[in-house]
Amino acid sequence: MSLALRLPTAGEILEMATDFGLHLTEADALSFRGLMAGSMASYARLDELPEPKLPVRYPRTPGQAPKLGENPYNAWYWRCEIEGAAKGVLAGKRVAVKDNICVAGVPMMNGSRVLEGYVPDVDATVVTRVLDAAGIVAGKAASEDLCFSAGSHTCASGPIRNPHDPTRSAGGSSGGSAALVAAGVVPMALGGDQGGSIRTPSGWCGVYGLKPTWGLVPVTGSMPISYSVDHCGPICDSVENVARLLTAIAGPDEHDPRTLNARVGNYLGALKRPVKGLKIAVLREGFGHQTGNPQTAETDALVRRAMATFKKLGGRVADVSAPMHLDGPHIWTGIILEGAAEMMIKGHAMGNNWMGYYTTTLQEAFARGFASRPDDVSETVKLVLLLGEHMHRRYHNRYHAKAQNLRVLLRRAYDEILREHDVIVMPTLPFPATPLPAADCSREEYVDLALNMQQNTCPFDVSGHPAFTIPCGTIDGLPVGMMLVGRHFDEETLIAAGRAFEQAGTAKRASSRR
């Protein structure tokens, strides 16, 4: 038997039995201990077998922490310069990688003290694809603590600031990615999205962010939150760059079962598609959210005025209704709270029982870090763990299961609209970027500012539809995003519509109270 493995003692078996409500004698425990020896031999053999590793194809140095003065928005976690192939769709493009995505040899913190000091030994599939497409990995973009915040104030290395107003949130959890693009530091970045974490920072920073269809882009080699809502996608300074980055990273991956039915489109070709005759559905329930923020009405009006541009381009615009959209956040909550508690926290950053690639060094690093520093995680992560565990213990997974079942009805509600229309439109977020909270703010304010803006974004993580936020104007100098939602694996139509709107120049002209 491997020196790293040992059988449980009889006392440990009795302790576990008590936890599960079993009534064993010491003789029973010794009997079970003997029976376990056979299975432990299999574990010992697993120790001896070589483990397959994701490829690391391109040389690199570890890079360095950002120097004083070169990180004004706190958007970088780590700087590096990894060059890929000589030719490809991303030739010469510098790409920031969200810090929940593994880059071999480069430190990864995922915004959390519990991972501080971890250095991956693999490249995530999307990183390899960026390098294969001749992109340059320019560094790791700072993210929220374990990615569980849509604000930008939970990052352990300090709040990420909005380039349009550094006193404001950049949005999260991919806030570093969006801030670096908005500041013109890089033209492209990779983000992740489980409740809006690509679209929220993109909307608030005034850049282009696409949450692809669930299963189009692999998340192999990334730290997940919850299997059924994990997405990875592009955040860029133009629709063309979104199309380029998506072209590089989309497609099936044998290590990620989510992607096995992925249908890849001609995203660069979509840039030239006319939008005359495009059927645009303006979702009533995507407007008029009761947020208490006075800028919600202005945001709604600004997005509705943007419809005039689509009409001028030959689009056919109509109001539609999907009452179930208002229940989308409730269904999302039922899925992600227990899902994150089980997979991300109790599952040591990987979970189990899914047929994909497990980054075992990440599992080990997270398990050790969380065991030694649980008090150092953000208040949002603590909330997820405590409430998720309560629902699991007290209600035996019932509400998570029911929410997963309701996912089908939510998806169907959007699909019914998309049978008659090409795109669904609404505000990405109900108001522009909010002020960053004070360091000594209450826990209640801290959590509210991390989660109070996802009314329109999180339902599409549940339904899996592609959703694309594009800038459509400003309010008091703060960007407002308009979200385009399409059919599954029809990112081409979203790119075509976004490109036409971008070229019309509306995003630069529209404003409210400059």
Tell me: the pLDDT tens digits for 90-127? Answer: 999 999 999 999 999 999 999 999 999 999 999 999 99
Q: Sign of dihedral through CA atoms 78, 79, 84, 87?
A: positive
Instruction: Please compute the mean of the pLDDT values over residues 344-356 and round it to a whole number.
Output: 94
Q: Is 261 exposed, middle or buried (CB count within 10 Å of its CB: 0-12, 13-18, 19+)?
A: exposed
Omega prior to 157 cis, within 30 of 0? no
Tell me: the pLDDT tens digits for 430-478? Answer: 999 999 999 999 999 999 999 999 999 999 999 999 999 999 999 999 9
Which distant-in-sequence residues (6+ apart) come within 8 Å of 508 by Cβ? none
Instruction: Please compute the mean of the pLDDT values over residues 338-359 and round it to a whole number.
Output: 94
Which pLDDT score is estimated for 16?
95
**Could you give the residue numbers annotated as active site?**
98, 173, 197
Tell me: the pLDDT tens digits for 51-79? Answer: 999 999 999 999 999 998 999 999 999 99
Instruction: Please compute the mean of the pLDDT values over residues 352-370 and round it to a whole number.
Output: 96
Residue 226 has pLDDT above 70, yes or no: yes
| Nearest residue to 113 via CA among 463, 375, 361 | 375
**Where do the domains of the chain lie?**
10-48, 76-512
Which pLDDT score is estimated for 436?
98
Instruction: Please compute the mean of the pLDDT values over residues 169-176 and round it to a whole number.
Output: 98
Which pLDDT score is estimated for 453?
97
Band (512; pLDDT cuts 50, 70, 90): very low
As given in the structure block, the two tokens for residue 187 are 């033209």
Identify the CATH homologous superfamily for domain 76-512. Answer: Amidase signature (AS) domain (3.90.1300.10)
How many Å separate Cα 90 from the centre of its chain?
A: 22
Which pLDDT score is estimated for 68?
84
The C-alpha atoms of residue 205 and residue 199 are separated, in whole angstroms, by 10
DSSP readout, 170-181?
Answer: --SSSHHHHHHH
Which pLDDT score is estimated for 514?
34
| Nearest residue to 483 via CA among 424, 433, 415 | 424
Q: Which residue matches tokens 């329109």?
A: 456
- Say which DSSP state 104 is in: T
Instruction: Please compute the mean of the pLDDT values over residues 491-503 and round it to a whole number.
Output: 98
Which pLDDT score is estimated for 371?
96
Residue 511 has pLDDT above 60, yes or no: no
Q: Are 143 and 153 in contact (CB under 8 A)?
A: no
DSSP readout, 200-263?
Answer: HHHHHHT-EEEEPPTTTS--TTB--S-GGG-EEEEEESSHHHHHHHHHHH-S-BTTBGGGTT--
